[in-house]
A and B are shown apart, each in its own frame.
Chain A
Amino acid sequence: MKDTLKKILGQGGPFIGLILVIVLFALPDETREFFLTYNNFKIIFTQTVIVAIGALGMTLIIVGGGIDLSAGSTIALTSVVGALLVQQGWAAAPVVLAVVASGGFIGLFNGAAIAGLRMTPFIITLGTLGLARGTSKWLADNQTVNYDSSSINRWMTTADPFSHALPAGVWVALGLALLTSLLLRNTVFGRHIFALGSNEATARLCGIPTARLKVLVYALAGCFFGLAGLFQLSRLRQGDPTVAVGLELDIIAAVIIGGASLNGGVGTILGSMIGALIMAVLRNGSQQMGWPTYFQEIIIGLVIIVAVFLDRLRQGRTAT
């Protein structure tokens, strides 16, 4: 009985959580009419895109036994870089490449510092959190970077807000989630990430180049954060160096709620995506209930603690 319960919590936990949260907001009179509509879910999906794409990168890092606290700052920096390039008259495609590459560069820096200096990811990325935030303010001259117009602005909306079509950003997030999931589950690279996070000593013993792997993981994750920065830019339609403060915590929370273990070696892309959705549903529902923002923060805080408690139950299962 206890084992079955643990199994359900371990495997279907995030999905059950999502359904619970949706039911929670579908029942009250205040929200019943609008909450369960297609249009509301279109809004929720759109609101999830940035955290979801960030969570793709963060899942790779956390499964590999690391953490990245600089994700929010990276998103701000790359969105400022994108805005500056649009201001310079760059076309959309090169802007996308440059923004993703700049995110990848920050990740490369993180990975190289962690592997090369043999320091804990927490410290290195805590440093990068400040570095990237400061640099983005510097580049933006401490103000928002505005531009006339760009096709990038259309990626987080649809031409007709009441149409049934989903914005491009949602499709990009879905497509990348599928690809990353395959990468993590079915490639040598992905299985090596699990090995690294599960037991670095074993990975080393078995001849896996652990230092190189770490650099690659952080660099790839940085590319995801850069892409999230691009959609941040698309949503705001300006480069704001003070945006996404603390967003790394939302992203980490999404991955943890999705069943990944901070000890490494455990985690799925599907889980992280559901985790990101749970966060978005909680925000959306709280707003419709008319709850004040401090109440939303309390609720989300509690959800994180419950999710980590479930994480510990899972750990208990694997330890025995």
Chain B
Amino acid sequence: MADPRLRLTGIRKSFGATRALRNVSLDVAPGEVHALIGENGAGKSTLMKILSGAHAADAGTMELGGAPYLPTNPHDARLKGVAMIYQELNLALHLSAQENILLGAESARLGWIDGHASRERARAALTQLGHGNLDLRRPAGAFSIAEQQIIEIARALLLQPQVLIMDEPTSSLTQADTEILFATIGRLRTAGVSVIYISHFLEECGRIADRYTVLKDGETVGSGVMAGASLDHLVTLMTGREVKDLYPRSTHEPGAVVLEVKSAALSRFVGRGLSPTSTATKAENVGRKARPTCSLNLRAGEIFGLAGLIGAGRTDLLRTLFCLDELDAGEVCIVGAPAGRASPRARWAQGVGFLSENRKEEGLMLNQSLADNLTLTKMDRFGRFGWISSGRQQSTARHWIGELRVKCRDAAQPIGELSGGNQQKVALARLLEHPARIFLLDEPTRGIDVGSKAQIYQLVSELAAAGKAVVVVSSYLPELLGLCDTIGVMCRGELAAVRPRAQWNEPDIMRVATGSA
């Protein structure tokens, strides 16, 4: 490539002790669609934030059109010709399409909006996208998601960008809307705009991209022409890393089934189609109105891993099992427990415990004491007639502080003052103290130090050995492969494959998760 439009070399970025980017290089030619590929946490988002001016790189050089490119903030990046479209749409839903397109770049005379000029500019941007007939006066909220995305792209095009970055643009689109988006991207390519296309879905990248770059653990590990690359090759590049010896293997034999999930349909995925490669589309469901569903059997003493990309429905499945989200269709059966109303309260009564992936917003009451956080599910058992014996509550908390080696001042310390790893131990102790016999753990090791991680792996393994059933959702594949007996992989709301761990490896999981199996 003789003359790249955008050239990044040796980009590094650290956040505290975490090295998000170690050594990233990227070349993008004019009028090229460039796929940026990598696993969750490989550094794609950080790189895009640096490109769009939200973060500054610690080291490395960036060139745009041959000149040094050093954006100071996202607005500056836009003015210099790099526009970004985020995964979550950023529209003011009450404002009209036109107002949204011109937001922050209004045509004005002496502070008054120039209606005619504004309309012309918005119309021109939409026409460039091949959607010149969109009603500019309608509120953005009245458009479909795909149309909203077009409005967002039109906004990005307003300042004639040379490089347009799209982060997971299809993650909330239906198949038909994806086709509209691809046609739009095709027009941008013809107009000479360079598009950086970030997606987990490899087959999509294969269709739309001219070239690719693969990131792994904050490094560029490969790049080349898309037409010559096999999906297998890309998956190997994405996942090829060693499994560290973090994972204990205690002997545990799966026993009787304790949780049955039959064709559960998750409410967030209602109305979405199956991925084109889904086994259900090929087999018996042809002709029926196919919808993504999940079926699984969980046994006592089994560790069941749920793999999949972010947004594939892993968390939705776990929350649905715990009645935090509504089950749209199908059946969830806790074996050997009295039926109750479909509520988290009934689940705790049935011996099911849930650990939220979001400690700060859902898992813990940050300004309340460690003891209160630990015993919230069973406060009525620390005394009689609704009275709480604070002494018994504190001594219970102290027991778990000792057992799990939680670093804290005392049981009355507000939990928000503890480190992430120690907070997570307390959140997990809540399930142990209840006590649960079915553990639903959503990203149990997210954002915690390695020491705490190893401790949690050990704990989960001991739970299984003691005959408890555990479901673990994780984005980190080595963790699932190291810890679980059985692994199920989710793709777009469907539990696409469930197999014993021995029959999985990282490339296989990525293939199923990216819908390219």
- Chain A residues with a Cβ under 8 A of chain B: 186-189, 191-192, 194-195, 198-199, 201-209, 265-266, 318-320
Distance between B383 CB and nearest chain A CB, rounded to angstroms: 8
Contact (Cβ within 8 A) A199 B365: yes
Contact (Cβ within 8 A) B324 A204: yes
Q: Which residues from A are CB-within-8-Å of B363? A: 202, 205
Instruction: With A199-B364, A265-B367 as known contacts, state yes or no: A194 contacts B386, CB within 8 Å.
Output: no
**Docked complex Cα distance between A125 and B417 (Å):** 35
Contact (Cβ within 8 A) A318 B345: no
Say whether chain A's binding surface is mostly helix, strand, loop, or mixed.
helix
Contact (Cβ within 8 A) B343 A205: no
**Docked complex Cα distance between A318 and B369 (Å):** 11
Query: CB-CB contacts of B351-370 with A at 8 A, as 1s and 0s?
Result: 00010100001111111100
Contact (Cβ within 8 A) A205 B344: yes
**Docked complex Cα distance between A47 and B344 (Å):** 46
Distance between A171 CB and nearest chain B CB, rounded to angstroms: 24
Instruction: With A204-B324, A206-B377 as known contacts, state yes or no: A318 contacts B414, CB within 8 Å.
Output: yes
Contact (Cβ within 8 A) A199 B362: yes
Contact with A201, one of B343, B347, B362, B417 (Cβ below 8 angstroms): B362
Contact with A195, one of B354, B372, B388, B390 (Cβ below 8 angstroms): B372
Contact with A198, one of B343, B365, B390 (Cβ below 8 angstroms): B365
Q: Lowest 8 A-B CB distances belong to which pairs? A: A207-B345, A198-B365, A201-B362, A207-B348, A206-B376, A318-B367, A199-B365, A206-B377
Contact (Cβ within 8 A) A202 B372: no
**Docked complex Cα distance between A205 and B343 (Å):** 9
Q: Which residues from A are CB-within-8-Å of B354? A: 205
Say whether chain B's binding surface is mostly helix, strand, loop, or mixed.
helix
Q: Which residues from A are CB-within-8-Å of B344? A: 204-207
Contact (Cβ within 8 A) A188 B388: yes
B468: CB under 8 A from chain A? no
**Docked complex Cα distance between A208 and B380 (Å):** 11
Q: Which residues from A are CB-within-8-Å of B377? A: 206-207
Contact (Cβ within 8 A) B361 A192: no
Instruction: With A203-B376, A204-B324, A265-B368 as known contacts, state yes or no: A319 contacts B416, CB within 8 Å.
Output: yes
B383 nearest in chain A by CB position: A188
Size range of the chain B interface in the assembly: 20 to 34
Contact (Cβ within 8 A) A188 B380: yes
Contact with B368, one of A198, A204, A205, A319 (Cβ below 8 angstroms): A198
**Docked complex Cα distance between A174 and B323 (Å):** 44
Contact with B430, one of A187, A203, A206 (Cβ below 8 angstroms): A206
Distance between A181 CB and nearest chain B CB, rounded to angstroms: 14
Q: Which residues from B are CB-within-8-Å of A199? A: 361-362, 364-366
**Docked complex Cα distance between A254 and B376 (Å):** 29
**Docked complex Cα distance between A191 and B362 (Å):** 17
Contact (Cβ within 8 A) B387 A198: no
Contact (Cβ within 8 A) B416 A318: yes
**Docked complex Cα distance between A296 and B430 (Å):** 50
Contact (Cβ within 8 A) B364 A191: no
Contact (Cβ within 8 A) B364 A186: no
Which of A203, A206, A266 has the most chain B CB atoms inside 10 A of its CB?
A206
Distance between A190 CB and nearest chain B CB, rounded to angstroms: 8
B residues 302-347 with Cβ under 8 Å of A? Answer: 322, 324, 343-347
**Docked complex Cα distance between A37 and B417 (Å):** 45
Other than the known A198-B368, A199-B362, A320-B417, what 6 A-B pairs have Cβ atoms closer than 8 Å?
A188-B387, A189-B386, A205-B344, A205-B362, A318-B416, A319-B366
Contact with B372, one of A187, A194, A318 (Cβ below 8 angstroms): A194
Q: Which residues from B are CB-within-8-Å of A189? A: 386
Contact (Cβ within 8 A) B345 A192: no
Q: Which residues from B are CB-within-8-Å of A202? A: 362-365, 373, 376
**Docked complex Cα distance between A195 and B369 (Å):** 10
Instruction: With A195-B372, A205-B354 as known contacts, state yes or no: A187 contacts B386, CB within 8 Å.
Output: yes
**Docked complex Cα distance between A318 and B366 (Å):** 8
**Docked complex Cα distance between A201 and B362 (Å):** 5
Distance between B341 CB and nearest chain A CB, rounded to angstroms: 10
Q: Which residues from A are CB-within-8-Å of B417? A: 320
**Docked complex Cα distance between A186 and B390 (Å):** 7
**Docked complex Cα distance between A203 and B356 (Å):** 12
B358 nearest in chain A by CB position: A201
**Docked complex Cα distance between A93 and B416 (Å):** 48
**Docked complex Cα distance between A192 and B377 (Å):** 10
B379: CB under 8 A from chain A? yes
B349: CB under 8 A from chain A? yes
A314 nearest in chain B by CB position: B367
Contact (Cβ within 8 A) A207 B343: yes
**Docked complex Cα distance between A265 and B322 (Å):** 25
Q: Which residues from B are CB-within-8-Å of A201? A: 356, 361-362
Q: Which residues from A are CB-within-8-Å of B356? A: 201, 205
